[in-house]
Chain A
Amino acid sequence: MGNLETDAAAPFEQSYATTNGNGKPANPAMEEEEDHETLMQRKFSAPAYTEIKTRKNAAKVSSAHRLKNIANGGYHPAKQLHLNGHAKTAVSDREFKSSQADGVLSPEQEHYQKSSFEEVPLHTACLTYLGFYLLMILGYINQLLFVPKVAKEKGRDGYVALYDAFESFYSRYVYRRIRDCWNRPICSVPGDELTLKDRVTNDYGWSFKFTGTQTRCLNLGSYNYLGFASSTGTCADNSEATARQLGLAYCSSRSELGETQLLADLERQTARYFGVEDAIVFGMGFATNALNLPSLLSPGCLVVSDEKNHASIILGLRLSGATIKVFKHNNMRDLDRVLRQAVVYGNPKAGGKPWKKIMIIVEGVFSMEGSIVRLPEVIALKKKYKAYLYLDEAHSVGAMGPNGGGVTDYFRADAKDVDILMGTFTKSFGSAGGYIAGSKKLIDFLRANSHAHCYASSISPPIAQQIYTSMRIIMGEDGTDIGRQKINQLARNARYFRKRLAQIGVITYGHEDSPVVPMLVYLFSKIGAVVRTLTTRHIAVVGAGFPATPIMEGRIRFCLSAAHTKEQLDYALDVIDEISDDFGLKYSRKPKDLNPIEY
């Protein structure tokens, strides 16, 4: 992680000093106009960039405003010279509402009060479908006329296609056209800012060339909720020391030679973090779901799963062979209906005998929707129907609750009411891996039976150390209140960002306390245009479209972090305001709160 930064420093300083996104040198006196022109041409010369037009007058006003802002010492990613990754903590702590459910209204009412959701406008829905069909038609014409520029297998006559035909068609003729907006290589730590390695395509996304330049961007795309992704600081130093002391890998599973004191400590710490009896850790979050669910479930069991659950959960459920019933996203009435039917009618395959067990699987924060599970109601239903509850806290652990304890902390629920607490260390802890926490009996069972425990090699020591250190910081066991500050900063950032977006008039989904903020743009072209324009303005964001979302709900997903400062968010919001005017993203028809939003 760390050495990349120093490698990149020399050429990158030259390159980012010359661009401030607006096509104007950051400091005209210093830079040769020519150099700058050629650089911009190399970077953003593709038609995809030059075709983007803005409302002229609006652009003039705002760029003047921005230049003034920069001159006044306002924030701009291309200007700042500090290394990224430093968590900057909140300025003042006046009367602050922490990330916690109010508990004044009933859970249901509070959920509706705090969630933002708007139906897609009818004409947008029609246009989205029309556009999708046009893309399909053009794709087929294109495929008919030209040989796709992809590798061909030879000597395979008579074999059926190994890959799904529609999938490869889709990725070649829809996704490929805006492929430059995804999987962008970076060459720094993904902290509050990151450095993008610029690349250009001259053939509409079939191939890319590196330009040799770099762009310093404000990072609104990483799951770095608490800002622990950093190449400096206590976490990095401890991890380095551990790597020197224990090496990089044990090359063996934990039931053989891969067991260490560090991992045992980590498990105990994790159990303490959630206030449960025991915990078990794994080297990969995805595998934690995919490989542990089959050891808990078998054919004859019923799983009631939220429709927006993550791919790892779905894979695990399919592997287990259990019967899967899906309920509508975060819809308690539907969950109740599914559970009631399951209890009343039993297993039809076994002639109506009761199911072996019924398990409800939900996530804490849904990463595509930005919504928070309605935990108090789920727990009530679980108790009513005597079902088990599996809660995936991948995105909520650390990011939710006044102590960073996840959604159980947020709703002040008893962690013991959740039978299986699963989560990952990949997001808030700035590391990698996953855990399952719960009763001692459950964890002992998993230690004996889980494929992820018996067959996977154990977590690499520096990675485990990063988790351990960051967890101790969050819990305040390092003797500072940095963890507390980070949690509060994130809560504040999330609320501020959402409120400002609502004021701008774009449609966002999800709960007001969730750090994942999806902004609906609906169309593929708009995803592409927004991501590209934001890149020229030095903001890195992630777009998501079909098949990751329904066709009609293409979106830009902002992930907030405790490492972001108000100035950074203000800069991003100003740019978003401007481009959502230019691109027509202000779909929302809700009344707007015109008062200035307090940070």
Chain B
Amino acid sequence: MLDNIIDFASYWWFRYLMVTELYMVEKWERVTIHVIFLTLFCIFWYFNYSVLLSFTGNLFGFVPDVLPGVKQGQGIKVT
């Protein structure tokens, strides 16, 4: 069972490496690219969370409650 899952995961990991051309690069280069990917993702996420969300929230005058930490009126004032 566990073997099967590991096999499945490693196979699809290999497929993922192949379509991103990471199969043919060295180990450390793979790590570097993934670190870059992750950093970019985090930056975007943070940007979306802190800026875009409150910005659009202000535009439409509402912020969903499900997002803690962003209070009504916080962020950039557009009016």
Contact = CB atoms under 8 A, between A and B. Distances in A.
B23 A525 contact: yes
Interface in B15-38: 15, 17-27, 29, 32-33
B4 interface: yes
B26 A141 contact: no
B29 A525 contact: no
A280 B5 CA distance: 66
B29 A142 contact: yes
A48 B24 CA distance: 7
A4 interface: no
Contacts of A56: 4, 7-8, 11
B18 A525 contact: yes
Contacts of B44: none
Contacts of B17: 51, 525
A525 B11 contact: no
B7 A131 contact: no
A127 B4 contact: no
A506 interface: no
Contacts of A48: 24
Given A56-B4, A138-B29, A141-B29, A524 B11 contact: no
B6 to A, nearest CB: 10
A276 B4 CA distance: 67
Contact of A525 (B13, B21, B26): B21
Contacts of A382: none
Chain B's interface: helix, strand, loop or mixed, by majority?
Answer: helix
Nearest to A133: B21
A566 to B, nearest CB: 32
A584 B19 CA distance: 9
Contacts of B26: 142, 204
Nearest to A53: B14
Nearest to B29: A138
Contacts of A310: none
Nearest to B26: A204
Nearest to B12: A53
B48 interface: no
Contact of A523 (B8, B13, B18, B29): B18
Nearest to A58: B11
B10 interface: yes
A134 interface: yes
Nearest to A521: B18
Contact of B24 (A55, A127, A528): A528
Contacts of A52: 14
21 contacts: A47-B27, A48-B24, A52-B14, A53-B11, A53-B13, A53-B14, A56-B8, A131-B19, A135-B25, A138-B25, A138-B33, A141-B29, A142-B26, A177-B24, A523-B18, A525-B17, A525-B18, A525-B22, A525-B23, A525-B24, A584-B15
